[in-house]
Amino acid sequence: MALVVQKYGGSSVSDAESIKRVAKRIAEAKRAGNDVVVVVSAMGDTTDELIDLAQQVSPLPPQREMDILLTAGERISMSLLAMAITNLGVRAKSFTGQQAGLITDAVHGKARIVDVVPHRIRETIEKGQVAIVAGFQGVTESTNDVTTLGRGGSDTTAVALAAGLDADVCEIYTDVDGVFTADPRIVPSARKIDRITYEEMLEMAASGAKVLALRCVEYGRRYGVPIHVRSSFSGKEGTFVSADAYTAQDPAPTPGTRSADIPEETAMEAPIISGVAHDRSEAKITVVGVPDVPGTAARIFEVVAGSGVNIDMIVQNVSAARTGLTDISFSLPEGDGPAAMAALSALQAEVGFDSLQFDDQIGKLSLVGAGMKSHPGVSAKLFGALRDAGINIEMISTSEIRISVVTREDSLDDAVRAVHTAFELDAAEGEAVVYAGTGR
Ligand code: ASP
Ligand code: MG
């Protein structure tokens, strides 16, 4: 008998019919002899709609109230799901994040889980019942206030509960068949990835892949929770995320095995490239005409950091010999643009730069793969593919297993398709299925 944590995303529970369909799946898992804990997201685009509503009544809603509002979305779906499961003759009970023992820090809107004390969930399992937990929320111990974990946070709830309950697997059910080599909404020929390591998945999620929330992957890696990303609309096996990309079907060779005895399939090196991720949510600030003397970059980025803004890529040009001036560009989340621009404007007199430019029409493409560490020519091939597609590169940054480039936002989709093809990631046949969801 296994303990399974299943998480269902908003598009899997978007209306009464889908809730009944998901309830059936859960009842089947329970009847098959498993202990089942379910984490559920808000129905469809509920969270976005609640945010829209809040903005209609106040330009700057208090964050505490915002969190109470948003947690309502998950409470609707959790109770409806518990009703639907009970109706199938399987006992189920729903719990808010607070009731489930998800303790967070006090940062409204992006709280971090500091502890998981799932007493009531354990009790429920022991009674042979299915526990349904509202995703993406918790409670701050100091004030007893309700918090949310940030967009997409139900994935993190699921993995945290799986770790806290020592579950055998955390299944993330979504509207596609797993993690793909690119977003199937942009690249229909994208291929499903069978296995991927936490490291690669972290880079994909950090680079904009929305299929799993970044913090869920971080959490999974820290506690070694095996994650299985799959569709709630099909019975297909999805993508396994784990430390070594081995699975039960394809296990790691036992230590001491001679390499000649390892089946060829398993002995093959991991593919060089796992996939292409993209991100439209960033903007770029350029500080024009910065005096090229020691300390200016330090001042600029001290001030940006002081305004609470997390930056991504940085590019500094060689200074023009004649003027001794240079330009510094960096990318940041679009929403942090106003704060960073205001902070930098206040610095203009002190540092003596010419002007500031803000550009929110950028897109970022990232190529991720553990194999690129040991393979020359990956960057050259990437840049060549963009050249052939007539796409200009504005910024470049790399890590050991990732290369990212910034392009114009309106050429990003073409860039993703061109790079996906250049690295021979396209499926031999068939199109990736997107079962539901508005992609919002
Ligand atoms: N409902 C929240 C959101 O849309 C949390 C989640 O779906 O994971 O971001
Ligand atoms: Mg969602």
pLDDT less than 70: residues of the chain = 245-270, 437-440
For a substitution probing ligand 1, which of 136, 149, 174, 175 has the most ligand atoms within 8 Å of its CB?
Answer: 136
Beta carbons of 178 and 260 less than 8 angstroms apart: no
Residue by residue, DSSP assigns 192-237 as B-SEEEHHHHHHHHHTT--SS-HHHHHHHHHHT--EEEEESSS---
* CA 46 to ligand 2 centroid distance, Å: 8
Closest to 282 in 3D by CA, of 199, 206, 180, 200: 206
Question: Nearest 5°: phi and psi at 217?
Answer: -70, -40
* CA 199 to ligand 1 centroid distance, Å: 23
- The whole-number pLDDT of residue 355 equals 96
**What is the tens place of the pLDDT at every residue in 410-431?**
999 999 999 999 999 998 887 7
* CA 186 to ligand 2 centroid distance, Å: 19
Question: Nearest 5°: phi and psi at 185?
Answer: -70, -25
- Strands 362-368 and 402-408, by their bridges, are antiparallel
- The whole-number pLDDT of residue 113 equals 96
Cα–Cα distance for residue pair 395/314, rounded to 1 Å: 8
Looking at the DSSP assignment, which residues form a beta bridge with residue 4? 36, 169
**Is residue 40 within a helix (H) or strand (E), and if so which, with residue range?**
strand 35-40
Cα–Cα distance for residue pair 130/94, rounded to 1 Å: 9
Reading the block at residue 327, the tokens are 């330009």
Looking at the DSSP assignment, which residues form a beta bridge with residue 230? 173
- The whole-number pLDDT of residue 259 equals 52
Q: Which atom of ligand 1 is nearest to the CA of 73?
A: 1
- The whole-number pLDDT of residue 265 equals 46
**What is the tens place of the pLDDT at every residue in 323-332?**
889 999 999 9
CA angle 188, 192, 193 (to 5 degrees): 140
For residue 7, the ligand closest to its alpha carbon is 1
Beta carbons of 17 and 80 less than 8 angstroms apart: no
For a substitution probing ligand 1, which of 11, 14, 41 has the most ligand atoms within 8 Å of its CB?
Answer: 41
- The whole-number pLDDT of residue 235 equals 87
Cα–Cα distance for residue pair 411/368, rounded to 1 Å: 20
Q: Which atom of ligand 1 is nearest to the CA of 136?
A: 5
Cα–Cα distance for residue pair 348/111, rounded to 1 Å: 34
Q: Does this model's pTM top 0.75?
A: yes
* CA 10 to ligand 2 centroid distance, Å: 5
* CA 192 to ligand 1 centroid distance, Å: 23
For residue 74, the ligand closest to its alpha carbon is 1
* CA 241 to ligand 2 centroid distance, Å: 20
- Residues 6 or more apart whose Cβ sits within 8 Å of residue 190: 180, 181, 182, 183, 184, 275, 420, 425, 426, 427, 432
**Is residue 98 within a helix (H) or strand (E), and if so which, with residue range?**
helix 97-100
For residue 73, the ligand closest to its alpha carbon is 1
For residue 155, the ligand closest to its alpha carbon is 1
* Location of structure tokens 């299985």: 228
- The whole-number pLDDT of residue 269 equals 47
- Residues 6 or more apart whose Cβ sits within 8 Å of residue 126: none
What residues does ligand 1 touch, defined as CB less than 6 Å away? 9-10, 41-42, 47, 73, 135-136, 151-155
Reading the block at residue 30, the tokens are 């329970």
Cα–Cα distance for residue pair 42/208, rounded to 1 Å: 21
For the chain, the maximum distance between any two Cα atoms, rounded to a whole number of angstroms, is 81
